[in-house]
Amino acid sequence: MVVAGLDQTTLAGGCFWCVEAALLRLAGVEKVESGYMGGAVVNPTYQEVCQGDTGHAEVVRVTYDPAVLPFGDLLDVFFAVHDPTTLNRQGNDIGTQYRSAIFYHDSRQRQAALDKISALGPAFDDPIVTEVAEAETFYVAEAYHQDYFARNSGQPYCQYVVAPKVEKVRKYFAGKLKRG
């Protein structure tokens, strides 16, 4: 249940630790939950999803205030923190579970996602392969995945993969960051 005045969307851009850490810093973002969506297995585990045969993507469900952070601005950050031109891959993370996807929650989000992809397309050397699909059942990831970067920032993957994405958000979206 989403609180009145807030909205939700579900995004997949590679490892959910990266996307979660980047989006949590944005003003207007109330909550980011790591999880799984888009596959056929009910109540998948991380181990099952990592094997790449559940059909699920690692996703983040974002609850945000569109009066503070319009959906299009949220998508700008999303497209900046991952490579939407690589099919089923982000860096060394390879498989359908790492695909780029926007799981829309209503027709307005669907159209905004399609419009954003069309507008951003010329900025990339290769075509954007981001899937745009209706949100399905969201399966929350195991507790140790939630707020992973904040709790494990010294871990090598966090230092070499997640931290640069967070820094990119700080640098290029400074005006959209939470204060304090």
Distance CA 80, CA 75 (A): 8
Domains within the chain, CATH numbers bracketed: 7-176 (3.30.1060.10)
Q: What is the DSSP letter of 75?
A: H
Distance CA 88, CA 145 (A): 21
pLDDT greater than 90 at residue 22: yes
Query: For position 4, what pLDDT does the model report?
Result: 86
Query: For position 1, what pLDDT does the model report?
Result: 62
* Residue 50 is a catalytic residue: no
Query: For position 51, what pLDDT does the model report?
Result: 94
Confidence of residue 149 (pLDDT cuts 50, 70, 90): very high
Report pLDDT digits (tens) over 31-54.
Answer: 999 999 999 999 999 999 999 999
- Please state the φ and ψ torsions of residue 30, each to the nearest 5 degrees: -90, -35
**pTM summary value:** 0.96
Question: Average pLDDT for residues 110-120, to the nearest whole number?
Answer: 98
Residue 8, SS3? strand
Question: Average pLDDT for residues 151-180, to the nearest whole number?
Answer: 95
What is the separation, in whole angstroms, between the first and last Cα of the chain?
28
Query: For position 19, what pLDDT does the model report?
Result: 98
* pLDDT mean across residues, the chain: 96
| Angle (nearest 5°) at CA 125 between 159 and 85 | 55
